[in-house]
Every structure is written in structure tokens, then in C-alpha cells.
Amino acid sequence: MPIETDFFCRCCRTPFLNRYPLDEEGRCALCRAGLRGFDAAYSFGFYSGTLRQLIHIYKYGKVHTLDRPLADLLLRALPRDEPFDWIAPVPLHWRKLWQRGFNQADLLARRVSAHTGIPRTRLLRRLRYTASQASLSHRNRRHNVTAAFACRQPERAAGRRILLIDDVLTTGSTAAACALALKRAGAVRVALLTLARADRRIPFSSQASASEMEGLS
């Protein structure tokens, strides 16, 4: 299940079919242009097959006991040599939290915090309800989440290295918006840790339907 690829961006770890999208320093075009927001992105596997099913059962089947094995997968994807000051979950809007009853990113963040000893704090707040992104184009989707997050404790973020945790990385626009809010508050480094990421080397439609992918937030 873990991702195996010969060609991936040094910063965001996006896999590619060949080396041509990467510059001499191994960065993709988005990272080179500073458009990612975050400094690194680590994922255990691709959002497909068994891993996708597990994440679905966890979120929509509300099988909370899966948080321990899933957090173990997160820990396997986390580089051991990279220091962090805070672990912060990607927040849900209060309306979605109320509907689902729990924030899967927060449960995973708790486990990773307990295991690594890195303190967890809810640094981010979701300002807007970004419900129906599935119907939006990539560009509009990015615009839809920009400024959708705010840092609720800027004094805690300033000068700090932050590990953001979420379940799935799809376009990266949600993570970018979170990272930019933390950077605006003075964070020096923001890395993202997710269970799974969309494999954008193959057509989006053959991986999962857009509405299914949208369960991510």
C-alpha cells in the first residue's frame, strides 16, 4: 500500500510519471512558484483500494476504533528526523462537525500527538462553510477555500514549526489555505501529514467520483 514512485517533488511529494515536471532542484511547478503554501507533504498511500475503504468506514461509518490503526499508518509516513513544535488538525466547519459528530483529523492528531510527544493544539478555525466543492472547477475550488481559515492563536504559531494533520490530500487547496493562515500568523514551517493522497498521475474520474472525494473536508 505505501507509495512507491521514482519521480516526486522534493517539497510536496507529488508523484509524477517522469522527471520532466521537476526542475533541477527537484521541485514541481507549484512549489517553485510558492503556490503550495505548505513546505512538505507526507502521505502513507494513495487514495484508492483498501486504504480508501478504511478511510470511508472511519468517517462515514463512524468506526472510531479505527483511529488507532490509521494513526499507526500516519506515524509510518512521518519522517523521524523532522522536528515540530505543534500538531494541528485541519478543522471542520462547526456545521459539518455537528452533522458528523467528530472531526476525524482531530482524532488522528490526538493519537499522533500521544505517540510522538509533540503537543496538539487547535490552531485553526474554519471561517466559511465550503460545502459543495465537488461541482466547482479546480480553480474555483482553490478560490473557494482561500481565506476560509484563520489562526485562532497567532501568538502560538509565531516562529513555530507546525505539523498539519488531515485524512486525505486531494487538490491541496484546503491544506494550502490552512498553511497560509499559519504562515500569516508567523509560522516558520508548515508540513502536512495525511493518510492518503489522490494520485494525480491517472485521470481523476477513474479513482473516485468527485462527490466521494469531497467527503474529505
* Interface residue list for Zn ion (CB under 5 A): 9, 11-12, 28, 31
CB of 27 to Zn ion, least distance (A): 6
State the nearest-atom distance from the C-beta of 2 to Zn ion, in Å: 19
Which residues make Cβ contacts (< 8 Å) with residue 11, sequence separation at least 6?
A: 27, 28, 31, 36, 39, 40, 41
Return the number of the residue (113 or 194) whose C-beta is nearest Zn ion: 194
| Cβ-proximal residues to 196 (8 Å cutoff; 6+ apart), any chain | 43, 44, 45, 46, 47, 48, 51, 52, 55, 167, 168, 169
In the bound state with Zn ion, the residue whose beta carbon lies nearer, of 11 and 54, is 11
Nearer Cβ to Zn ion (22/70) = 22
CB of 173 to Zn ion, least distance (A): 14
Q: What is the DSSP string of 186-210?
A: T-SEEEEEEEEE--TTS-GGGT--H
Nearer CB in complex with Zn ion: 31/107: 31
Please say which residue, 31 or 87, places its beta carbon nearer to Zn ion: 31
Neighbours of 115 (CB within 10 A): 14
Spatial distance between the Cα atoms of 159 and 33, rounded to a whole number of angstroms: 23
Q: How far is the CB of 10 from Zn ion (least distance, A)?
A: 7
Residue nearest to Zn ion (CB): 9
Least CB distance to Zn ion at residue 31 (A): 3
